[in-house]
Amino acid sequence: MCRRFNSGPAHSTTASSSEYFQAMNYRRRIDALIACICLIILGTDLTAHAAQSVQLETTRQADTIVFSAQGFNCTEATLTIDLTLDNMTASCPTHVSVDYERNTLFPALILTPIDARRPWHFRYTYKSHVGCRRHGSATQPADYDYGLPYRRGETHFVMQGAFGTFSHFKGTGDEQCIDFQMPVGTIICAARPGQVVGIKDDSDRGGPTPQFKDDANYIVIQHDDGTYGLYEHLCKGGSLVTLGEIVNRGQPIGKSGCTGWASGPHLHFGVYNNLSGSKWFSYPLTFTTPNGSHQTLLEGNTY
């Protein structure tokens, strides 16, 4: 099961002159007060679920609003922004996807009032997903036989294969992914060399319903052909690598778990590229196993 995108909350702003800043400062104080009250009364850790792979922020510069994106647990991602404007114009379409790279703050778009003498208003939502879109040729990447994503000598049951009916069905983006049943804490190894571009391992929540979909821990590795390998449902603190690290095939990179939307402990493995901040597609996979090369793993078998 694979749910690696983050949805930003809806934002709405109406302003004329300094009213914008006054309203935002007041709102920040109220939000901070509410958060403190919740922490005291409920004992809830609000920061864990507020974390985003990429956060979108707005700043006012003279008569313009600048949107900037900042990554926190990834070095690259696809960000999709939806805008609703009143008396404003944007530097790009009101529905736009941009590629965020190199873990730096970068300007995503600019809004400008059409008539600054009149009140203006904008509203936006956004979603982000680790990894950039595939550019250039849209053809299938070169064939590659992946290694099994665990230590040599181990065997694991494929509890869900390509086009599995539980969560790999058509339209999910995960059609070609593989779920390996394995006990929590099993060492996960890189199935292909590459560079680590996304890590989340701060969650200890998981369950069999969609409410847990944003709680999955994962590692994402970019390959030399621009595709991304996903290792998902890791245990809390289960990453053995760091952002930007170059890893070799067979290298231990993490520990399996049962975080996120999961019916039981397992490793979700897939190779994908993004279409937008909320849509992606996965590639068919073949593996080298003790039985030979170019093997397609079938649901219900052990490898």
For residue range 249-300, list pLDDT tens digits in order: 999 999 999 999 898 999 999 999 998 888 899 999 999 999 899 999 999 9
Distances (CA, A) of 72 to 10, 13, 83, 168, 262: 20, 25, 23, 28, 25
Q: What is the pTM of this model?
A: 0.80
Instruction: Tell me 74's DSSP state.
Output: B
Closest CA to 233 of 210, 252, 214, 211: 214
Distances (CA, A) of 230 to 50, 87, 189, 197, 233: 22, 42, 12, 10, 10
Q: How far is CA 87 from the centre of its chain?
A: 33
In terms of pLDDT, which residue wins out, 106 or 136?
Answer: 106
Three-class DSSP labels, 125-147: EEEEEECCECCCCCCCCCCCEEE
Q: What angle do CA 281, 287, 292 make, to 5 degrees?
A: 160
Q: Which residues pair with 269 in a beta bridge?
A: 178, 231
Which contiguous run of DSSP H or E holds residue 24? helix 19-42
Please compute the mean of the pLDDT values over residues 52-73 and round it to a whole number.
86
**Could you give all domains of the chain from N- to C-terminal order, each with its CATH number?**
5-130 (2.60.40), 145-295 (2.70.70.10)
Which contiguous run of DSSP H or E holds residue 35? helix 19-42
Q: Which of 1-5, 44-48, 128-132, 163-167 has the lowest mean pLDDT?
A: 44-48
Query: For residue 179, which phi and psi values (nearest 5 degrees)?
Result: -110, 120
Split at pLDDT 50, 70, 90, the class of 104 is: low
Split at pLDDT 50, 70, 90, the class of 124 is: very high
For residue range 204-256, list pLDDT tens digits in order: 999 998 889 889 999 999 999 999 999 999 999 999 999 999 999 999 999 99
Which class for 192: exposed (0-12), middle (13-18), buried (19 or more C-beta within 10 A)? buried
Distances (CA, A) of 37 to 24, 33, 51, 144: 20, 6, 20, 53
